[in-house]
Amino acid sequence: MKKFFKILFVIIVILFFAGVIFATWFQLDTRVRVPEPADRSVTKLPVANPEKDFYTCGRNWIQRGNSGLWELYLEGKPFERGVIEGKLTRGLMEKQEQAFTDRLTEMIPSPAYLKFLKYFIYWFNRDLEDYIPEEYIYEIYGISLSASDKFSFIGNNYQRQLNYHSAHDIGHALQDFHMVGCSSFGVWKEKSRDGSLLIGRNFDFYVGDEFARNKIVCFEKPESGYPFMMITWGGMAGAVSGMNEQGLTVTINAAKSDIPYSARTPISMLAREILQYARNIQEAYAIAQKRETFVSESILIGSASDGKASIIEKSPYKIALVEPQDNYIVSTNHFRSATFRTDPKNVKDIKENASLYRYKKILQDITEEQPLDAGSMAKILRDRSGLNHTDIGMGNEKAVNQLIAHHSIIFEPEKHLVWVSNGPWQIGGYTCYDIVKIFHNFAALHQRTEISEMDRAISPDPFLSSDSYTQFNRFRELRKELKKMSRPGEKTNLRRSYIRELIGTNPDFFEVYSLAGDYFYSKNQPDSAMGYYRKALGKVIARQNERQKIIEKLADCIVELKKKKL
């Protein structure tokens, strides 16, 4: 049996490299089926900048609100919306692409492998356009006309922007980098203070702090479908969190998935289609049924017309609708329906990863805090503790608040209200918007205007001004430095006071002890490393594979010590 798997692995590797060679040979990054819009006159529309941080293009505009969030209004036909979005967000789009490429370079420092990865992604996504509705192809193409040529080494502007829409899906294959690990929940009736539906979510898609810095609250009025709002960033036409004018909300949570073998509909594009065209849960489910996706995802749908929320669980091969059994529902990163209950990947994920722990933690918080309002929803989304309020260390993946969120958001669909976190993460204030008021009162602005509901804003978390927050930031600095010092061949030695400072910044987090152990092991000091590995094993560890790695390194230290004694 082992021989069979070795042969299978060799075949997969050969096919993988063959695909890359095929991509390189046929230059798939330049042989792009470029859309041909019938009317390109919109490309000549000028952008006006009448005052600082405020730009207009036709009836469309973007401004930086008093909260620091960028606020974007778009309307019109698909290509028109895309072109204007690109014009208005040109600078932000370049910053996002720079942040994204910087993060990839940090995770994959080898230029040769990055080039290899580039060609593989182009080969993998060679048919991506076939699985995205034509409307969104034209929108993405319109956006790409304003993309920076600075990144042409990756590919042409259109193909890059198209491929970026599968970044969330590709993040599934990189879960060990902690890029994807979201939490969302909904309450209604007696679980809600005034009985109305409330939805909360943390979008823990981490591509670095810079990537999250210039998020955009987009209000879009398309030619067809319902007007909607979504949280996005420069160059992004897909949706990850949003609500339409009918009071239907969409949030997506990654579930365990195999590395996909070919492109299908990116999950953000499916979420966008639901957001634009669904009025209730059944209509959302019907849209999800007709699209093929290449990763597994939980899509939490809140509906004002249904007065509740449900979860669509979708994999490349199966789909299920999870209806609530009570007046609340919770979604983390595992599937719960009978359709997926015995699926081996799902069973393994529940057993080995942090999803079930966070699921239980949210249930516990809902019970303790009910009945909930927007403020108490934010309190749950900001919770850094473990079950029973134990301290599991700042930044632990088992916490609802992992201190990595790109954004956090709260919806009250029946009142068309949405609260968006300002940053950092979800510990800054939440800005409130009435989306109906915005679509009816704030189209075609000619000067900077406060469009938020200032009297409904949620105050920053007290943690933001605490010593603990200062310590956490220091922990992040020291962690980054220590990882560099632990690389093979690194000759720089640190003082033990450095290690003590690291541990002092986050003493209940297993990772500080694991990192200290790695450092001493890299310096051929297994006796010191052992002590830190044992301390790490006494803490709450997020994933089973992380625990196993520490155990294996501890065993290596024991072997090394025995060798030294001999």
In order, the DSSP letters of 486-550 are TSTT------HHHHHHHHHHSTT-HHHHHHHHHHHHHTT-HHHHHHHHHHHHTS--S-HHHHHHH
Q: Which residues contact 440 (CB under 8 A, 6 or more apart)?
A: none
Give the Cα separation of 548 and 552 in Å (integer): 6
Q: Are residues 124 and 272 in the same domain?
A: yes
The confidence score (pLDDT) of residue 180 equals 61
The Cβ of residue 282 has, within 10 Å, a number of other Cβ atoms equal to 15
3-state secondary structure of 412: strand
Pairing of strands 216-222, 70-76: parallel
The range of the structural domain enclosing residue 537 comes to 467-565
The Cβ of residue 93 has, within 10 Å, a number of other Cβ atoms equal to 24
The confidence score (pLDDT) of residue 5 equals 45
Q: Are residues 422 and 513 in the same domain?
A: no
The confidence score (pLDDT) of residue 19 equals 44
Segment 430-434 long-range contacts (CB within 8 Å, at least 24 positions apart): 430/374, 430/378, 430/457, 430/458, 431/65, 431/67, 431/69, 431/217, 431/457, 432/374, 432/456, 432/457, 432/458, 433/217, 433/229
Q: Are residues 96 and 190 in the same domain?
A: yes
User: Is residue 11 included in any domain, yes or no?
Assistant: no
Angle between helices 344-352 and 355-369 (to 10 degrees): 70
Of 366, 360, 356, 422, the C-alpha closest to 387 is 360
One-letter amino acid at 321 equals L
Of 355, 346, 427, 364, the C-alpha closest to 398 is 355
Give the Cα separation of 211 and 382 in Å (integer): 20
Please answer whether residues 416 and 247 qualify as being in contact, where contact means their C-beta atoms are separated by less than 8 angstroms: yes
User: Beta-strand (E) ranges in 91-215?
Assistant: 183-187, 198-203
Using alpha carbons only, how large is the chain's radius of gyration in Å?
Answer: 24
User: Is residue 414 included in any domain, yes or no?
Assistant: yes
The confidence score (pLDDT) of residue 27 equals 45
One-letter amino acid at 456 equals R
Q: Are residues 248 and 167 in the same domain?
A: yes
Q: Are residues 449 and 471 in the same domain?
A: no
Angle, CA 50 vertex, CA 48 and CA 52 arms, to 5°: 110
Q: Are residues 493 and 417 in the same domain?
A: no
* CATH number reported for the structural domain that contains residue 558 in this entry: 1.25.40.10
Q: Are residues 489 and 422 in the same domain?
A: no
User: Is residue 113 included in any domain, yes or no?
Assistant: yes
End-of-domain residue from the set 427, 453, 479: 453
Give the Cα separation of 556 and 513 in Å (integer): 16
The distance between the two most distant Cα atoms of the chain, rounded to a whole number of Å, is: 81
**Structural domain tally of the chain?**
2
What residues of the chain score a pLDDT lower than 50?
Answer: 1-30, 176-179
- pLDDT tens readout for residues 27-73: 444 455 778 888 899 999 999 999 999 999 999 999 999 999 999 99
Q: Are residues 128 and 187 in the same domain?
A: yes
Stated as kind and residue range, the H or E segment containing 309 is strand 308-314
Q: Are residues 363 and 444 in the same domain?
A: yes
User: Is residue 157 included in any domain, yes or no?
Assistant: yes
The confidence score (pLDDT) of residue 14 equals 41
One-letter amino acid at 54 equals F
If phi > 0 it is left, if psi is from -120 to 50 it is alpha, else beta; for residue 225 that is left
* Helices and strands of the chain, counted as H and E runs: 19, 17
* CATH number reported for the structural domain that contains residue 368 in this entry: 3.60.60.10
Give the Cα separation of 59 and 81 in Å (integer): 11
Give the Cα separation of 241 and 202 in Å (integer): 9
Angle, CA 381 vertex, CA 437 and CA 389 arms, to 5°: 155
User: Is residue 4 included in any domain, yes or no?
Assistant: no
Tell me how long the chain is. Answer: 566
DSSP notation for 197-266 = -EEEEEE-B-S-HHHHHT-EEEEEEESSS--EEEEE-TT--S-SEEEETTSEEEEEEE---PPPSS--B-
Write out 445-484 in H/E/C secondary structure: CCCCCCCCCHHHCECCCHHHHCHHHHHHHHHHHHHHHHHH
Give the Cα separation of 513 and 91 in Å (integer): 41
The confidence score (pLDDT) of residue 564 equals 78
Asked if the peptide bond before residue 507 counts as cis, ω within 30 degrees of 0, the response is no
User: Which residue shows structure tokens 């990144």?
Assistant: 151
User: Is residue 460 included in any domain, yes or no?
Assistant: no
End-of-domain residue from the set 453, 476, 500: 453
pTM > 0.75: yes or no: yes
3-state secondary structure of 553: helix
User: Is residue 85 included in any domain, yes or no?
Assistant: yes
Encoding tokens for residue 481?
Answer: 């430095």
Q: Are residues 528 and 443 in the same domain?
A: no
Stated as kind and residue range, the H or E segment containing 19 is helix 2-26
End-of-domain residue from the set 429, 453, 477: 453
User: Is residue 505 included in any domain, yes or no?
Assistant: yes
Please answer whether residues 255 and 313 qualify as being in contact, where contact means their C-beta atoms are separated by less than 8 angstroms: yes
Q: Are residues 263 and 376 in the same domain?
A: yes
If phi > 0 it is left, if psi is from -120 to 50 it is alpha, else beta; for residue 27 that is left
Q: Are residues 423 and 517 in the same domain?
A: no
